[in-house]
Amino acid sequence: MEANILVYDVGSTYTKAAAFRLEGEDLAFLGRGQHPTTLDDIGAGARGAEEEILRQGVTFAADMARYSSCSAAGGLRMVAMGFMPRVTAKAAKEVAMTAGARVMEVVSADEPPEFREEVLREIRPDIILLSGGTDGGDMANVLENADIICSVRGEGTVILGCNKFAQAEAASRLKGAQIPCIRVPNILPTIHELNVKPARLAIHEQFINQITRAKGLKEFRDALADKTVIPTPGAVLLASELLARGSYEQEGVGGVILVDIGGATTDIHSALPELIDMNIEEKGLVVSNEKQFSYRTVEGNLGLRVSATGIPEAVGDKAVLRAMDHDYGLEPQDVEDYVQLLEEHNDHIPADEKEACLDRALAACAVDVALRRHAGYYAKEADPVMGIMAGAPMGRDLRMVRQVLCVGGIFLHCQGEERRRIVENTFRNPGISLLPLEEPDIWFDDQYILYAMGVLARHYPDAVLSYMKKNVIRKEKE
């Protein structure tokens, strides 16, 4: 068949491409290809992925529209500077969630100015998120941090998302020191409200500016239909959000949990459409709730290669052995030796079924820890000061979620019950966590095209939603 849409994903190791045919609101997947990413010319890797698709018998229309996501830049280094530590940390995490940034450090008014200056000099961030003060609240800390940034004179861009009454003076001081800054609405206008989208878009623009410095990437971007590149994690999350919420024309499937296991991190994302219309009083204080529609946690010490040693450190060697779906008579030292091998050789492929079983066990433990950290819990004890009763639900409430989407190479390399066990045991034994009350339906991104769904969701939401409801959330379970 002839493809009229092609979606790339430029990664640090491989450049992928997925071909589709769109006719009206009917979207059909035709094939996918990949090629090692070519750092001397990004376009060469993209063409290699295209050629693999052509070899599958797919042809390309003359007017084919091309789109792309990208994770090759690795994410901008970001430092968040604010007033209150817990509030600044939460706001920074939410701002960076899909924008292509990595929060390297969070500093607040609790740290002395010399420490804040040292952080900026050591990290040399690409982005400084300067927050602090609700509108009409604290101004002194914002201006003090602006002066610290001016004294360091780094090369990063400052995103001014602080008290609106302090922004003009802070911007004036930064511009006087020739430090680029972008003003956006306060990310915390009231103690009940997070307004992260404008700051997120500003960081996304900086992400685009950074990756277009790579050889050939400017020309690659200019050939795209929308002349833009979306950070890959953001694209995956856009797909799950559309699936959960729906479009103007179609209903979504309701709450969705996304489990994404990679070599360096295990990411959990949940989209709960029932929270969209909740008023700010019902949500409560920003610092003590997780009642955003879309919420993501990243466990940077739980990965299957780069940070493999973090998994037994988190759960213990014996827990990894208990998670194995076959008994090979292994000892705790065997687990230690294997994760050390994985960290030293990130490209290691299991040599036999015993190592493959260990991989699955490590994945199961990583998912278990990550899901429990993402979900809320039942309070064990009463807290009269905070007005909390014993047994009260706290944090992110996932009890009504019915759909779980799983993404990652580990799920592509095993099938059937083996891969289902990686995630389902946590849902069968929720303990005090606010995980689904009933075992949810578990689905897998078998064709590795969820990133493409997110990219296309911005342009063809109804066609993409229909496709995902038929082919991702399938009627018949495997």
CA distances from 115 to 112, 133, 179 (A): 5, 20, 20
Phi, psi for residue 162 in degrees, rounded to 5? -110, -170
Q: Looking at residue 194, what is its pLDDT?
A: 80
Domains of the chain, start order: 2-72+214-228 (3.30.420.40), 76-209 (3.40.50.360), 256-471 (no CATH)
pLDDT confidence of residue 231 = 84
Backbone dihedral angles phi then psi of residue 427, each to the nearest 5 degrees: -75, -25
In 29-112, where does DSSP find H-type helix? Answer: 42-54, 85-96
Q: Which helix (H) or strand (E) holds 283?
A: helix 280-283
125 strand-pairing partners = none
Report the pLDDT value the prediction gives residue 253, as an integer from 0 to 100: 94
pLDDT at 237: 86
Token pair, residue 390, equals 């014993």
pTM of the model: 0.81
- What is residue 67's three-state secondary structure? strand
475/470 Cα distance (integer angstroms): 7
Q: Running DSSP on this structure, what letter comes out for residue 256?
A: E
At 470, which amino acid appears? K
pLDDT of residue 414: 86
β-pair partners for 214: none
Quick one: pLDDT at residue 476? 41
* Structure tokens, 443: 């689905």
How many whole angstroms separate alpha carbon 345 and alpha carbon 355? 14
Helix 461-471, helix 450-457: angle, nearest 10:
150
Helix and strand counts by DSSP (H, E) for the chain: 17, 17
**Secondary structure of the chain: what % helix, strand, coil (to 5)?**
40, 20, 40
Could you state, in chain order, the average pLDDT of each consecutive group of 10 residues for the chain (478 residues)? 94 88 94 88 91 96 94 74 82 74 86 94 92 89 95 91 94 95 92 83 80 72 89 87 94 94 88 84 60 82 89 96 93 95 89 94 96 89 69 86 92 87 92 92 90 95 95 62
